[in-house]
Amino acid sequence: MLSFRTELENPVVEKDIIELDRKIRQFKEGQIAEEKFRSLRLARGVYGQRQQGVQMVRIKLPYGKMTLAQWHRIAAVSDEFSNGNLHLTTRQDIQVHFVSLDRTPQLWAELEKDSVTIREACGNTVRNITASDTAGIDLDEPFDITPYAHAMFEYFLRKPLCQEMGRKFKIAFSSSEKDTALTFMHDLGAIPRIKVIDGKEIRGFKVLIAGGLGAQPHLAVATHEFLEADLLIPYLEAVLRVFDRHGERNSRHKARIKFLVQKIGIEAFNELVIAEQKAVTHQTYKVDYTNFPSAILPSYATGGIEAATPANPYQYELWQHTNVIKQKQNGFVAVYVRVANGNISSHTSRILIEQLKNVVADDVRVTVNQGLQFRFIKPEQLPYIYNVLDKVGLAKPGFGSVADVTSCPGTDTCNLGISNSTGTAIALSEVIEEEFPQFLYNKELAIKISGCMNSCGQHGMASIGFHGSSLKTKGQVLPALQVLIGGGVLGSGNGRIADKVIKVPSKRGPDVLRVVLNDFINNGAGETFLNYSQQKGDRYYYEILKPLADLETLQAEDYLDWGQQEKFATAIGVGECAGVMIDLVATLILEAEEKIENSKQCLSNAAWADAIYHAYAAQIHSAKALLLQQGVQCNTQHGILNDFDKHFTATGLYTATASFKENAMRINDLEPSAAFANEYLLQATEFIAFAKAFRQQQVLVEKEA
């Protein structure tokens, strides 16, 4: 047992961590298959990285918020278990790298001392719920979406139905119609709206479904122009039930919810959601936003702070113009910090915490473009804050501007990275700062880069996007960038996906930027880049960039990737952005038995809906095990239900009911209750007993043969 178990006050969390420790030991002893263990650790935020023998641990920060104590805790954890670097992500998480697998339970336990979790930060789960960094202080917001984002995070954390889905599920809340959380590229997006009904203001959301980037981008589809706030969480639960049952599971490249909606159409999808409505845990779920904790304000201690003068007055004015915004609360401003490639050291973090704790609220936000935001600042204390940031190299102006390039870690640590994204991002940023300083004021045009086509750096919706690739010429391979042009945010849940244009050697990325920006400067007067690029089209950009794709003019440096000294070679590993299929019959039946025990635990806690869903999942796992034993491959839960009746019920191998599917799908016929939960659990227990007996019989037959 773990020595730190008694230090945690939350028994649920403690059980989780002890379980992870136990599973690690079982895996190392050969008791758990590697693929099954991978799925388990991913759901607990532990992700394999490019370097063998170490892990990336993803820290889940709902809507990007952390207190100063939590930030300090994360910095300490990075020092003790990692390399002292905190990586801020486009999902508003923080990642630490180079962690020993054996130490991940202790790392998690240390984080939980300040209520920081890694649970469901990776894997086929509901990932971190992101939100506009201005939520709560936005001049344009109809109401603060923070309580709703937080309630959704708490509601679905450890929820049985979203632990083993076909793929990950990403959610975003925007604070206003400006859609700064990019809802159009999420599995579910929510934008706050107010509707007057019978003279009373009612809170609600525009709801969007099935957005996503990656190799096959898909814009989200609006399912509700106005869904009352009390119905949002029950609606999402129904959506997840549909996704869990009907979503693809064999081919991970076709397993996101966008592919399900594309396959069956939004009308059929909506009908499936309605069919699930009766069975969800709550028909309405009211979020008590009036009692949601307010930001804890600092002491605003003086001690010469107000008397501070900027170390560099000219840079200070530029910084103030680009990195400071007014809050809706009178007399306060928020400050943004550009963080190159999202990397900030634990040492720098502690300096900022100590020197800013008396002038910023106890509410720090990680932004979707890998920066930081401090809020509830008095304007007279801005010079002091600027000086603090300047001393640690974090006072660069142009937050959210063209120079503030977003990038994923790429080949630095990711298995899927093809070419370097972080070095490229720095080079592109330098081009803007040194050659196009006027674009430090431009926040409409965005540059984003990913190490591969999967778009963790969000290149698929960038004004100018790049993703890592490779080119072959004369028997040699060189690093390359796929160029995309014309993506952007239109507002109100609408967006534009960037067009693929051309592939060029990586070292010519800065030249791509020069050509595109000079063309816009010379020909796009009075236009936004979004409108201009849409008018010109991908063929236009192909023609003006074509000379940069000429491989007859390669130089020796073109065979070296950014920041590398050795000749480029592609080395793509196995991605872990989602879990993998486990087709071991014995493992599936064992998992079914575990779900029966989970169902019993939920019953003892009066969690009827969760108990029922565990019992449903137990039946699905058992049925799949028997189908696989018979050589029948299954790719959805819906398919398992149909195939079992086809291969077992119709052939007389299973005679307990006229239809296994109809019996299992009773979960949608009745509202959750103690009586039905107990009855359904008994049904599941009896079915697993049948499955075990059938399997044992088949094993004996095979041995005799």
299 by DSSP, 3-state: which?
coil
Q: Tell me: the pLDDT tens digits for 18-28?
A: 999 999 999 99
- pLDDT over threshold 60, residue 2: no
* CATH numeric code, 585-704: 1.20.120.330
The total of other beta-carbon atoms located within 10 Å of residue 344's CB is: 25
- pLDDT over threshold 80, residue 45: yes
- pLDDT over threshold 90, residue 701: no
What are the distances in angstroms from CA 223 to CA 132, 308, 403, 492?
A: 21, 52, 36, 13
Q: Which CATH superfamily is domain 130-291 in?
A: Sulfite Reductase Hemoprotein, domain 1 (3.30.413.10)
The pair of structure tokens assigned to 251 is 């081919």
Closest CA to 468 of 370, 543, 562, 565: 562
What pLDDT score does 572 carry? 54
Spatial contact of 272 and 257, defined as CB atoms under 8 Å apart: no
Q: What is 202-230 written as a DSSP string?
A: EEEEEEEE--B-TTS-B--EEEEEEEEGG
Q: Tell me: the pLDDT tens digits for 434-447?
A: 999 999 999 999 99
Q: How confident is the model at residue 704 (pLDDT cuts 50, 70, 90)?
A: low
What is the fold of 5-66+76-112?
Sulfite Reductase Hemoprotein; domain 2 (3.90.480)
- pLDDT over threshold 70, residue 116: yes
What pLDDT score does 8 carry? 75
Paired strand residues for 203:
194
Query: What is the dihedral sign for C-alpha 675, 680, 683, 688?
Result: negative
The total of other beta-carbon atoms located within 10 Å of residue 277's CB is: 16
Q: Model pTM?
A: 0.93
Q: What value does the mean pLDDT take over residues 199-205?
A: 96
478 by DSSP, 3-state: which?
strand
Q: Which CATH architecture is the domain 313-391 placed in?
A: Alpha-Beta Complex (3.90)
- pLDDT over threshold 80, residue 537: yes
Rounded distance, CA 643 to CA 633, Å? 9
The pair of structure tokens assigned to 343 is 């990397």
**Most confident region among 15-24, 134-143, 303-312 by mean pLDDT:** 134-143
E-strand stretches of 378-518: 406-407, 447-450, 464-473, 476-485, 488-491, 494-496, 499-505
Rounded distance, CA 466 to CA 452, Å? 9
Q: How confident is the model at residue 10 (pLDDT cuts 50, 70, 90)?
A: confident
Tell me whether domains 130-291 and 585-704 share a fold: no
Rounded distance, CA 684 to CA 701, Å? 26
Spatial contact of 16 and 44, defined as CB atoms under 8 Å apart: yes
In angstroms and rounded to an integer, the radius of gyration of the C-alpha atoms of the chain is: 26
Q: What value does the mean pLDDT take over residues 406-425?
A: 86
142 by DSSP, 3-state: which?
coil
What pLDDT score does 205 carry? 98
What pLDDT score does 580 carry? 37
Q: What value does the mean pLDDT take over residues 378-400?
A: 96
Q: How confident is the model at residue 583 (pLDDT cuts 50, 70, 90)?
A: very low
Average pLDDT, the chain: 92
Q: Tell me: the pLDDT tens digits for 331-377?
A: 999 999 999 999 999 999 999 999 999 999 999 999 999 999 999 99
The pair of structure tokens assigned to 514 is 């020069």
What are the distances in angstroms from CA 178 to CA 140, 324, 374, 485, 566?
A: 9, 18, 21, 21, 45
- Give domain limits for the chain: 5-66+76-112, 130-291, 313-391, 406-559, 585-704
Rounded distance, CA 705 to CA 699, Å? 10
What are the distances in angstroms from CA 564 to CA 411, 429, 514, 556, 569?
A: 11, 18, 23, 13, 11
Q: What value does the mean pLDDT take over residues 14-21?
A: 92
Spatial contact of 67 and 608, defined as CB atoms under 8 Å apart: no
Q: What is the DSSP letter of 577?
A: S
Pairing of strands 94-99, 55-59: antiparallel
Q: How confident is the model at residue 483 (pLDDT cuts 50, 70, 90)?
A: very high
Paired strand residues for 204:
193, 228
- pLDDT over threshold 60, residue 694: yes
- pLDDT over threshold 80, residue 534: yes
- Residue showing tokens 């920066």: 371
Q: Which CATH architecture is the domain 406-559 placed in?
A: 2-Layer Sandwich (3.30)
Closest CA to 258 of 224, 223, 222, 212: 212
Paired strand residues for 470:
479
Closest CA to 578 of 34, 37, 42: 42
Q: What is the DSSP letter of 258?
A: H
Q: Tell me: the pLDDT tens digits for 256-310?
A: 999 999 999 999 999 999 999 999 999 999 999 999 999 999 998 877 677 789 9
